[in-house]
Every structure is written in C-alpha cells, then in structure tokens.
Structure 1
Amino acid sequence: MRDIDVVNALRPSQPGAFTPSDLDEVPEDVVRCELVDGSLVVRRPPSPSHQAVLLELACTLRSICPEQLQVLPAPVRFEPAAGLSLLPDILVCHRDDVGDRHVERPLLAVAIMSRSTRALDTGFRQALYDLSKVPSYWMFDPARRALTVRELVDGEYAERTVVGDEVFEATAPFAVRIVPGELVR
C-alpha cells in the first residue's frame, strides 16, 4: 500500500476533522505526518545529509544533557493544542513530560531546515512554538551553516543567529556550546 493510500484510508468524513488519535493509526514506517488545525500535513522522509546533522546535534546535546531532561530525535510528536501535532527534528524536555504518544511541554524544539521546509520552519511552525511559549526554538540551516536561536526572555522572544565558526553558548535548557560549522561534516 502506498503512503498516500494509508493516509486516505484514515481520512475523516469532514475536512479538517483529523485528531491526534488518528495519527496513532498511521504505521510508524510509512510517512511523517503533522496535524495542523485538523488537517493532515504529510512530509517526505528527510535526506541523509539532514539526518547526519540531526544525529550530530542530538549527540552533542545528549552527551551533556542533565539526568532530569531527555533529548529526543524525530519523529516525536509535540501537541501544543487541540488539532495540532508537530514533529520537530529534536525535542528536549523534562523526563516527566514524555507521554506514551507525545511530549507535553518541550523546553527546546529544533528544526533542521531544507529548501522544502524553510518557509514552514521560519514562519508557521515558529509562530506555533511562539504561541505555545516553547522556551527555546533553534533553526539550523545546513546550507548556510547558520543557527538561528529564538529564546523566551521576560515573556518576549529574543532572536540571534550564529554562522560558521562562531560559537553559540546556550544556557537553556542547559549549558551547551554549539558551533554551526561543526554540525555539517
């Protein structure tokens, strides 16, 4: 059965009527699906270079992650509100916030951008993380070797970008040193 056939078999009777529980019926090895306002958004699998960056960054984070926190690579769902289910590339959260099917309250969401996801990552998804008050949202652009960091400070988001061999010294959700140019090998 093709991926699209699986998705069509799950289609609810009304447009926009998908729920997070409908995503539980999609086989894990079929497609990457997100839910936005009850509509299913299907993404193709990421490229090998994307996955290499994801692994490098996840391993960097995991190597110094405090015991009470957990680093989770995609696909792990974050459901910020009814009718919404997102798949960040990496999530960091308190261990107690990991449910059976999704993460309750991430401390950090990371997107590794590509040509096909750039607009969504810097626009729509960013707005959803902002509305959900996710404390940190990082967007890594492998083509530019640039890390854009959005952090919630006193109720507002501050944004900065580090490029190439510049160093980002994160303090939240824990202290970690990231050099964007070292993530792409």
Structure 2
Amino acid sequence: MKKGMHYITQIAVIMICVFFFRTFLFGTITVKGSSMEPNFHHGDFVIVNKLAYHIGTPQKGDVVICRLDSGNRNENIIKRIIALPGDEVDMKLKEDGWDWEYVLYINGEEQHENYISEIMQQAGTIEYPFEVKQNCYFVMGDNRNASTDSREASVGAIHKENIKGKVFLRLYPFENMGIIKNTEER
C-alpha cells in the first residue's frame, strides 16, 4: 500500500511540473499555412518560450507567436518582428522594376532581408508611412505575398500583451530540428 501511494505521489508531482512548464514557461505550436515560408512550413512543430518577454523585450528579427484578435478571428499566428515601438514603416514601389515590387523601409532605411526568397508584391491596406505605437510591434510573415500581417488594416501593429512568446526551437521535421536564431543576430 505504501509503495502504491509513493508512485501515485510521484505521478502527481510529474503532472504538476508538466502543467507548470506548459502553462507558464513553454508552449508548442504547429505552423499552419505558408505565410512563413521559406523558413517555416505547414506542419512544422515549434517550441515557444512564454517567459521570454516577461523578462526581456521583443527584438527586431524575433520570430514570435501572437494572438490575433480581429473580426471573427481569434487565433495564434507565427510572424517575424519587423519594426519596434516608435519605428516608422514605409513601403515604396521600386522605381526601376518592371514588375510590382515593393521595398520595405524602417525609419527611412531600406531593409535588405536575406531570409525571404521572393520579391514583395503586396503592400497591404494600411496607410504609409506607418508609425508603430508604444507597446506595439509591426510583424510580417516571411512569405510576404501570402501573409496576413501588420500590413493589413484589420490586423495592424500587435500590442505587446498579444505576443505570447518567442519561437526558439523547431522540433519537427527532424531534419530541420534546431535553435531558431534572430535574423538580426546572424
């Protein structure tokens, strides 16, 4: 009888620890859709550090999970932080291009994003230049032509309280398993 209670106690402690870790420290999410390609694909399984922004602040280049509360949507999405509070975001049509190609500017400086693979052909529905308000972050998907993000008036900049955590580890697919680095630190 004593031995049985010992095992039940151990299982209860393990369950409480797992609950604590999943609720307060780490979470998981499965990537849905193609908005973060070529860096994240539909079905990728990632680990999120929920504590990261309780002890630090989001940085440009971080891949984050944010809560999207607009219209009839109430979902978690994966995006990359492009601009910080107080930054000015602008999109300009490339002057020498034959195709529609938009260029991203942050605080008047053209951004050279080596982690995206296609030219940006959509500027979204917000009015430019766009100033990111205090405690808000401008987020975009890496697949700029197939992403609903801060460029859309229905989404806009994401308030810090809606950023649920920083993606720091890809677990699946196994051949792509590894630490997720901030694009500004590469």
TM-score range, shorter chain: under 0.3
Q: Which has the higher helix share?
A: 1
- RCO greater where, 1 or 2, for CA within 8 Å and sep 6 or more? 2
TM-score with structure 2 length normalisation? 0.27
